[in-house]
Amino acid sequence: MAVELVWSKRADQGYAKIVKYFEDEWTEREVQNYVRETKHFFDLLKQNPRMLSHLKHIKIYTEDLLTD
């Protein structure tokens, strides 16, 4: 079951800050790898929304998407 991931404004800004920092400190290749791996992780999460359910400290808001 694929779901849509919606980033909060704060999360989006935080990710942009991280990428900007990496752009200043890392090589372009390393930044591209990080962005690609991050995208891959979220693609997996969309396809497998329960994959983090065992982690008690991570809050995942699903709006009843996982009750099926």
15-48 pLDDT tens trace: 999 999 999 999 999 999 999 999 999 999 889 8
Task: Write the DSSP symbol of residue 26.
Answer: S
Domain contains 24: yes
Domain contains 4: no
Per-residue pLDDT tens over the stretch 42-54: 999 889 887 777 7
Cβ proximity of 31 and 23 under 8 Å: yes
Domain contains 54: yes
Look at the chain and report how many structural domains it folds into.
1
Reply yes or no on whether the pLDDT at 1 is more than 80.
no
Domain contains 46: yes
Range of the domain at 14: 9-67
Domain contains 2: no
Neighbours of 47 (CB within 10 A): 11
Reply yes or no on whether the pLDDT at 11 is more than 60.
yes
Cβ proximity of 53 and 60 under 8 Å: yes
Domain contains 3: no
